[in-house]
Amino acid sequence: MAEADGNGGLNRWSLEGMTALVTGGTKGLGHAVVEELAELGATVHTCSRNEAELNKCIHEWEIKGFKVSGSVCDASSRAEREKLMSNVSSLFNGKLNILINNVGTNVMKPTLEYNEEDFSFLMATNFESAYHLSQLAHPLLKTSGAASIVFMSSVAGVVSVEIGSIYAVTKGAMNQLAKNLACEWARDNIRANSVAPWAIKTPLAEPYLSDEKFSEEVRFRTPMGRAGEPKEVSSLVAFLCMPAASYITGQTICVDGGYTVNGFFFPRT
């Protein structure tokens, strides 16, 4: 692994001069991450299945002065993932500093009600996409000389949360993949970490947080007494990509207001 000062002269608290791919960057956590990385100086490429949504976001980012481009891509499709990485390689001259595997979705059912289609869809979208994109990105990440992969996981991959067993399995797999890649690819100067949020105010979480019972449970079980904001996750993602985090790899870091350390929490009065 590269020495701590082997960052090409980059400011250790900046992403200036770095290139990044963020999957699913037009809404929720992905959108927050794109903006965070761009604000810190990175040149970012993102993707979405929705072309109109992608174009709208890119236009807004251009107005803000961010260096962000985008591709239409269904990350659950192997062929489209290969096309995406080919585009990224061409755009960034065969080098990539940052890969954020953010794409994810959920179908919430009791375990006995899931069918084969549900399983295949969630595994392909949440886990297979991250696994394959990491494989495809490896040559670009290695060539950059100092690279970071961040998997957008969930506390559901760390502890039991009643939001669907298949979703939880995909997130647990992401956490383990980060550990394996951290060990396998350290020699290539590639770090890999996993970020595991709890309830965050995103479009994916909105149906749950709008449910009064679930929302009350979040407040009761979370020591900080609230759901999180996307920026409270994107800041950690950005830090893990900085030269300042050069000795952090193979970790699963929860961003959860204390949820996963709460054995039996008495709410504040």
- Rounded distance, CA 174 to CA 157, Å? 8
Going by pLDDT thresholds of 50, 70 and 90, the confidence category of residue 5 is very low
Average pLDDT over residues 73-101: 97
Going by pLDDT thresholds of 50, 70 and 90, the confidence category of residue 233 is very high
Q: What are the C-alpha distances in Å from 214 to residues 43, 200, 205? A: 38, 13, 11
What local confidence, expressed as pLDDT, does residue 264 receive? 52
Helix (H, G, I), strand (E, B) or coil at 84: helix
Please list the helix, strand and coil fractions of the chain in percent, rounded to the nearest 5, in that order: 50, 15, 35
CATH architecture assigned to 19-255: 3-Layer(aba) Sandwich (3.40)
Indicate left, alpha or beta for 110 from its phi (over 0: left) and psi (-120 to 50: alpha). Answer: beta
Residue 256, pLDDT > 50, answer: yes
What local confidence, expressed as pLDDT, does residue 107 receive? 93
Average pLDDT over residues 219-229: 92
Quote the percentage of the chain above a pLDDT of 70.
Answer: 94
What local confidence, expressed as pLDDT, does residue 206 receive? 85
Average pLDDT over residues 53-79: 97
Average pLDDT over residues 170-193: 98
In degrees and rounded to multiples of 5, residue 195 shows phi and psi of -110, 125
The domains of the chain are located at 19-255
Mean pLDDT of the chain, nearest integer = 93
Average pLDDT over residues 149-156: 97
pLDDT digits (tens, 9 = 90+) for 23-48: 999 999 999 999 999 999 999 999 99
- Rounded distance, CA 56 to CA 83, Å? 22
The predicted model scores a pTM of 0.92
The verdict on whether 259 is a catalytic residue reads no
Q: Which of 167, 208, 247, 259 is catalytic?
A: 167
pLDDT digits (tens, 9 = 90+) for 89-138: 999 999 999 999 999 999 999 999 999 999 999 999 999 999 999 999 99
- Rounded distance, CA 217 to CA 213, Å? 6
List, in order, residues 6 or more apart from 61 with CB less than 8 Å away: 34, 35, 38, 68
Residue 2, pLDDT > 50, answer: no
Going by pLDDT thresholds of 50, 70 and 90, the confidence category of residue 205 is confident
CA atoms within 13 A on the CB side of 262: 22
Going by pLDDT thresholds of 50, 70 and 90, the confidence category of residue 208 is confident
Q: What are the C-alpha distances in Å from 69 to residues 2, 5, 17, 26, 145? A: 30, 30, 15, 11, 23
Q: What are the C-alpha distances in Å from 93 to residues 37, 90, 101, 239? A: 19, 5, 21, 25
Residue 8, pLDDT > 80, answer: no
Residue 269, pLDDT > 50, answer: no
DSSP state of 128: I
